[in-house]
């Protein structure tokens, strides 16, 4: 009898209140935000996390996914604030979209900091990743695992880009962190900030000439079909994803359920990173078959882009914090 009562109390969570533990009811549904839906590795990562948690908690934690950043009306750079406020319970979010609130997350958008996947791994699996999780925790959001949106490549409707001169004058859609405005301005382009939802309309109507996104996003959004016929693989930045839970929601759950949620996030994140990295080659073939001119920059061809964005890199080293940037550079060098 007593054993039963104890188990029942744990099934609904415990809250210490005035010294006494009182049961706290779970919500019937927890809201998970992602920017992209399950046509993309990012959306699939959210779906996988939700399904694993539902199965392993026998439905105690029932997560519903809201893609398109719909809980913030598509305004993806407001997502992190909405998690803090409890409008969003869980998220698989992009470091780019959260960087207006967490300036240190701009680190991953530092031009040409990470030349390859190993460099990204050295950051997210090392000290830098731990430091960033501590910063997020201080903001009352519980970070659990890393995923990956991918290396961001550049496309446009006008011409092949092989040197900074080719990018001059192009109207480029960029995401809502001021660092992107600085990068594309330094390259002589004409950048304009908008959400991903607005970007697709702007590309289709030729209000903008180009954009930058990972291959999987370019492909699943069918950008070749709306005139984005030139794709340059320059690997200038990579956008990791972070699996998080609102702190009050986290506190509602039993330690056992928290552990289930954490392990499911780690597993979904690992699978997501594999999916993104293994998917690119097959997609590139189909992209080329669709008549897209794909330009892959050599190390030599990347150099003038690195030089042209060097002043931006230095300016943003100060904004992000010189210590963190140095730690990241050292981790990349040692990879
Ligand atoms: O808006 C974008 O470019 C996207 C979908 O990649 C992000 O949310 C960062």
211 Cβ closer than 6 Å to some ligand 1 atom: no
Q: Give burial (CB, 10 Å; 0-12/13-18/19+) of 245.
A: buried
Number of folded domains that form the chain: 1
Ligand 1 center to residue 108 CA distance, Å? 14
For residues 154 and 292, the answer to whether their CB atoms sit within 8 Å is: no
- Give the mean pLDDT per block of 10 residues along the chain (335 residues): 44 49 79 98 98 97 98 97 98 98 98 98 98 97 98 98 98 94 98 96 98 98 97 98 98 97 98 96 96 97 98 98 98 97
d(CA 204, CA 211): 12
Ligand 1 center to residue 174 CA distance, Å? 9
213 Cβ closer than 6 Å to some ligand 1 atom: yes
Ligand 1 center to residue 256 CA distance, Å? 34
Pocket test of ligand 1: the residue of 68, 91, 175 to mutate, having most ligand atoms within 8 Å of its CB, is 175
241 Cβ closer than 6 Å to some ligand 1 atom: no
What is the domain range of residue 272?
A: 2-333
Q: Closest Cα to atom 1, ligand 1: which residue?
A: 196
Instruction: Tokens for 11, please give them.
Output: 């099934």
CATH of the domain at 245: 3.40.190.170
175 Cβ closer than 6 Å to some ligand 1 atom: yes
Kindly give the pairing relationship between strand 141-156 and strand 171-174: unpaired
Ligand 1 center to residue 196 CA distance, Å? 6
Ligand 1 center to residue 69 CA distance, Å? 11
Instruction: Tokens for 254, please give them.
Output: 């039993």
- Coil vs helix vs strand at 76: helix
Q: Closest Cα to atom 4, ligand 1: which residue?
A: 196
């Amino acid at each position: 009898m007593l054993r039963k009562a104890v188990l029942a109390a744990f099934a609904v969570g415990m809250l210490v209140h005035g010294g006494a533990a009182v049961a706290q009811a779970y919500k019937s549904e927890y809201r998970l935000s992602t920017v992209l839906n399950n046509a993309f590795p990012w959306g699939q990562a959210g779906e996988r996390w939700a399904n694993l948690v539902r199965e392993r908690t026998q439905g105690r934690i029932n997560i519903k996914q809201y893609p398109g950043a719909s809980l913030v009306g598509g305004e993806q750079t407001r997502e992190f604030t909405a998690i803090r406020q409890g409008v969003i319970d869980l998220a698989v979010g992009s470091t780019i979209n959260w960087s207006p609130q967490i300036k240190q997350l701009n680190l991953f958008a530092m031009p040409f900091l990470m030349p390859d996947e190993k460099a990204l791994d050295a950051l997210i699996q090392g000290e830098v990743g731990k430091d960033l999780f501590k910063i997020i925790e201080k903001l009352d959001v519980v970070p659990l695992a890393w995923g990956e949106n991918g290396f961001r490549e550049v496309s446009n409707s006008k011409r092949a880009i092989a040197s900074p001169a080719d990018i001059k004058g192009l109207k480029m859609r960029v995401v809502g962190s001021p660092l992107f405005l600085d990068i594309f301005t330094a390259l002589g382009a004409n950048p304009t900030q908008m959400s991903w939802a607005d970007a697709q309309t702007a590309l289709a109507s030729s209000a903008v000439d180009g954009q930058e996104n990972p291959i999987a996003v370019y492909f699943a959004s069918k950008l070749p079909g709306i005139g984005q016929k030139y794709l340059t693989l320059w690997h200038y930045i990579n956008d990791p994803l972070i699996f998080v839970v609102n702190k009050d929601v986290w506190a509602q759950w039993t330690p056992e359920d928290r552990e289930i949620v954490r392990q499911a996030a780690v597993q979904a994140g690992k699978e997501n990173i594999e999916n993104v990295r293994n998917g690119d080659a097959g997609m590139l073939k189909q992209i080329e078959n669709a008549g897209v001119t794909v330009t892959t920059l050599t190390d030599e061809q990347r150099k003038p882009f690195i030089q042209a964005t060097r002043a931006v890199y230095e300016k943003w080293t100060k904004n992000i914090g010189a210590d963190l940037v140095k730690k990241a550079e050292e981790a990349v060098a040692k990879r």
